[in-house]
Amino acid sequence: MTKIGVFLDYKELRELMVKTQLIPRGIKDARVLNAMKKVPRHIFVDERIQQKAYDDTALSIGEGQTISQPYMVAVMTELLELKGDEKVLEIGTGSGYQAAILAELAREVFTIERVALLANKAREKFLALGYNNIHVRVGDGTLGWPEEAPFNRITITAGGPKIPEPLLEQISEGGLVVAPVGDKFTQQLLKIRKSGKTFSKEKFTPCVFVPLIGEHGWKEE
């Protein structure tokens, strides 16, 4: 039973989400699947749409922004190859959901959001849920977080024309960047691995993200 009167069993919906949306599409990393089963996604959306939180879709979080589809969160997280001791930088805090997933799987998460209202809401959620390994900054994430660099992993959850140069400079040796890159309407997930002075690139699924706006992204219209 997932529905008792108007009461939704969110834990059960999370299990169902993993079983029907993530495993059949090839998500295999047990740590990622467990984090997706654990983090209460409904807490990161508006109360009036909480019943849709585990649907197979992105949802509006206000300010013209979105919380990504659960599958996309899982794919990006799996591509980051987290083992537990990493320092991670996320660009595009949005609702805070992806940062919470990362915080379950890595040592420390630094997340940057350009819309102050969203950053503040996410901060409140982290506090309420007891995530004390997430640090939030308001600003242009395309510049990275130089005072905290280097990062073992960087992920961008907004679509840009390229991986911003400052982020490539802030990745540690052997580190990875996972980000959607393309035009304003469609992108492709890229994984960049730094090895010595070289960066190797792998391409993954096509995707659609809101634009990465900033000095090394798209210009604000």
Judged by the rule CB under 6 A, the positions of this chain that interact with ligand SAM are 65-68, 91-92, 94-95, 97-98, 112-115, 118, 140-142, 157-158, 209-210, 212-214, 217
In the complex, least distance from residue 6 CB atom to ligand SAM, rounded to whole angstroms: 26
CB of 220 vs ligand SAM, minimal distance in Å: 9
Nearer to ligand SAM, 173 or 215 (CB): 215
- Residue pair 95/73 in contact by the 8 Å Cβ criterion: no
Shorter beta-carbon distance to ligand SAM: residue 77 or 152 = 77
Catalytic site includes residue 68: yes
Rounded Cα gap, residues 46 and 61, in angstroms: 7
Specify the residue, 33 or 158, whose C-beta has the smaller distance to ligand SAM.
158
Separation CA 50–CA 209 (nearest Å)? 21
Query: Cβ of residue 196: shortest distance to ligand SAM, in angstroms?
Result: 28
Provide the minimum distance between the beta carbon of 59 and ligand SAM in the complex, in angstroms, as a whole number. 9
Helix (H, G, I), strand (E, B) or coil at 125: helix
Cβ distance to ligand SAM smaller for residue 163 or 212? 212
Helices and strands (H, E) in the chain, number of each type: 6, 11
Contacts of residues 106-111 at CB distance under 8 Å and 24 or more positions apart, as own/partner, are 106/82, 106/133, 106/152, 106/153, 107/133, 108/133, 108/134, 108/135, 109/133, 109/134, 109/135, 110/134, 110/135, 110/137, 110/145, 110/148, 110/151, 111/135, 111/136, 111/137
Smallest gap, in angstroms, from Cβ of residue 160 to ligand SAM?
8
Amino acid code (one letter) for 25? R
Q: Which of 60, 68, 95, 200 is catalytic?
A: 68
Nearer to ligand SAM, 2 or 60 (CB): 60
At 200, give phi and psi (nearest 5°).
-100, 150
Tokens of 212: 């990465």
Question: How many residues in the chain?
Answer: 221
The catalytic residues are 68
